Amino acid sequence: MSLKYFGTDGVRGRVGVHPITADWILRLGRAAGIVLAGNDKRGVVIGKDTRVSGYMFESALEAGLAAAGANVLLLGPMPTPAVAYLTRTLYACAGIVISASHNPYEDNGIKFFSADGEKLPDAVEQAIEDELEQPFVTVGSEKMGKANRVDDAAGRYIEFCKGTMPFGTLLSGIRVALDCANGSTYKVAPAVLRELGAKVHVIGNTPDGMNINDGCGSTQPAALQQHVTRCGADLGIALDGDGDRVVFADSEGKLVDGDELLYIIARYRKAQGTLTGGVVGTVMTNFGLEMALADLDIPFVRTPVGDRHIHRALVERGWTLGGEASGHLLSLDRTSTGDGIVSALQVLEIMARSGKSLEELRSGMQKFPQIMINVPVSPSAREQFSDSKPINQALREVEAELNGKGRVILRPSGTEPLIRVTLEGSDSTQVERLANQLAATVRAELGS
């Protein structure tokens, strides 16, 4: 199955450049209404992050869905996982998020959820793309969809997040530095933590439509690391622009990424007898996590990059816990999709119940030195790298020098025109040298 528009996480790109244009999103709205709603009048939920272009695309989607005869429930700015949750609890027939996640404000995208609050299967995405090729026909006025705003959306989601904590677990006395990335969690995340008793010091909570992910959030955590030490917090939490990723910083400002958070949660659950099966990571998961889990006799498997692959592997095995170093964690016993706030609460719950600091909880896992270099390429070249003889020769030379004492991953980004060059090994100097060597070859052959 070859999808033309859908990537690893919906449709994404630069605003104003096909297909991320108002007229195309209008057509996408109609196509989605035909495929996902049909004659179902329960409604399609729409949420968005804080990008200025969200207003335009929200209106375009609303018009397209109405033209298909689908009713619309507008949430306003709301984290991606909140849209998944509200799609289920409002008994909607589908959910749509207008967001480019951790990308800069110049980008935007459209992500879909099924009625169950889960990512769409490839076959359904293909059906939407097929419908996009059909003429734009508006239903009769008597069948046209209507739009309503859900005024209590934020309150519903806040209560859900708090409800994922065991009853009676409070965060009293814990001082949290919080970075909301000037994104969709800027209101709900501080409210959740404060209502659970934490003392919260917030940055990245003044969105202006253009400062989302700008020098802040989980992809640029330096602001959080400085904020932790500046306000004397016990730990720091950084979310990304749409709220599905989270990374931490300890009391000294040292970064704690998704791999380490997975280790903390898995080890605690193993000790409590509540871990179902094992843990799912990706090809990018640090080898140190795999080794640490093996020491705990916890099974571990890898998938291709992307939460949908992790989700599929978890469901197939009947497991519940998985994620990526980026902080996109899945706990299927808590919610149906990656949720930065819910993931953060699991770590805070462990701190509160164990009485241990984040520094103590992360001990036991030793990360291997890992470096990733993003090489910008043209969209067409991104798909050609595997056929390049010079790149393949350089790759073989790197693997030969590592001699089984490290890993090299060369792959195209699923959301951006980049080739990601990643190396991992026990010798940090060697890892850095070989990564730069391979990246230079990719840049010479395919660089934009």
Q: What DSSP string describes 363-432?
A: TT--PPPEEEEEEEB-HHHHTTGGG-HHHHHHHHHHHHHHTTSEEEEEEE-SSSSEEEEEEEES-HHHHH
Does 381 score more than 90 pLDDT? no
Q: What is the DSSP string of 17-83?
A: STTSSHHHHHHHHHHHIIIIITT--S-EEEEE-S-TTHHHHHHHHHHHHHHTT--EEEEEE--HHHH
- Structure confidence at residue 440 (pLDDT): 94
Instruction: Evaluate whether 374 touches 413 at the Cβ level (below 8 Å).
Output: yes
- Mean per-residue pLDDT, 294-306: 94
Same domain, yes or no, for 240 and 292? no
Same domain, yes or no, for 401 and 280? no
Same domain, yes or no, for 17 and 67? yes
DSSP 121: P
Answer yes or no: 101 catalytic.
yes
Any domain includes 4: no
Same domain, yes or no, for 302 and 403? no
- Alpha carbon distance 378, 366 (integer Å): 37
- Mean per-residue pLDDT, 340-351: 98
Cα 433 to chain center, whole Å?
30
- Report the number of distinct structural domains present in the chain: 4
- Alpha carbon distance 238, 225 (integer Å): 9
pLDDT bucket at 1, cuts 50 / 70 / 90: low
Any domain includes 237: yes
- Structure confidence at residue 383 (pLDDT): 66
Any domain includes 216: yes
Same domain, yes or no, for 306 and 261? yes
Any domain includes 161: no
Chain segment 89-133, per-residue pLDDT in tens: 999 999 999 999 999 999 999 999 999 999 999 999 999 999 999
- Structure confidence at residue 9 (pLDDT): 83
Greater confidence, 348 or 364? 348
- Structure confidence at residue 382 (pLDDT): 63
The CATH number covering residue 416 comes to 3.30.310.50
- Alpha carbon distance 405, 369 (integer Å): 12
Same domain, yes or no, for 147 and 29? yes
- Single-letter code of the amino acid located at 368: F
Same domain, yes or no, for 244 and 270? no
Any domain includes 159: no
At which residue do the structure tokens 């299967």 appear?
Answer: 121
Same domain, yes or no, for 337 and 376? no
* DSSP strands (E only) in 114-165: 147-149
Give the percent of the chain with pLDDT over 70: 99
Does 165 score more than 80 pLDDT? yes
Same domain, yes or no, for 290 and 386? no
Chain segment 238-278, per-residue pLDDT in tens: 999 999 999 999 999 999 999 999 999 999 999 999 999 99
- Mean per-residue pLDDT, 300-321: 94
Same domain, yes or no, for 147 and 22? yes
Any domain includes 383: yes
Q: Which residues contact 392 (CB under 8 A, 6 or more apart)?
A: 386
Same domain, yes or no, for 317 and 298? yes
- Structure confidence at residue 248 (pLDDT): 98
Owning domain of residue 200: 174-255
Same domain, yes or no, for 45 and 134? yes
For 117-129, letters b (16+ CB in 10 Å) and e give bbbbeeebbbbbb
Residues in the chain: 448
- Structure confidence at residue 51 (pLDDT): 98
Any domain includes 169: no
The CATH number covering residue 183 comes to 3.40.120.10
Catalytic residue chosen out of the listed positions 101, 326, 336, 343: 101
- Structure confidence at residue 192 (pLDDT): 98
pLDDT bucket at 404, cuts 50 / 70 / 90: confident
Any domain includes 113: yes
Instruction: Evaluate whether 77 touches 46 at the Cβ level (below 8 Å).
Output: no
- Mean per-residue pLDDT, 278-282: 97
Chain segment 27-66, per-residue pLDDT in tens: 999 999 999 999 899 999 999 999 999 999 999 999 999 9
Chain segment 185-210, per-residue pLDDT in tens: 999 999 999 999 999 999 999 999 99
Whether residue 19 is preceded by a cis peptide bond, meaning omega within 30 degrees of 0, is yes
Q: What is the mean pLDDT of the chain?
A: 94
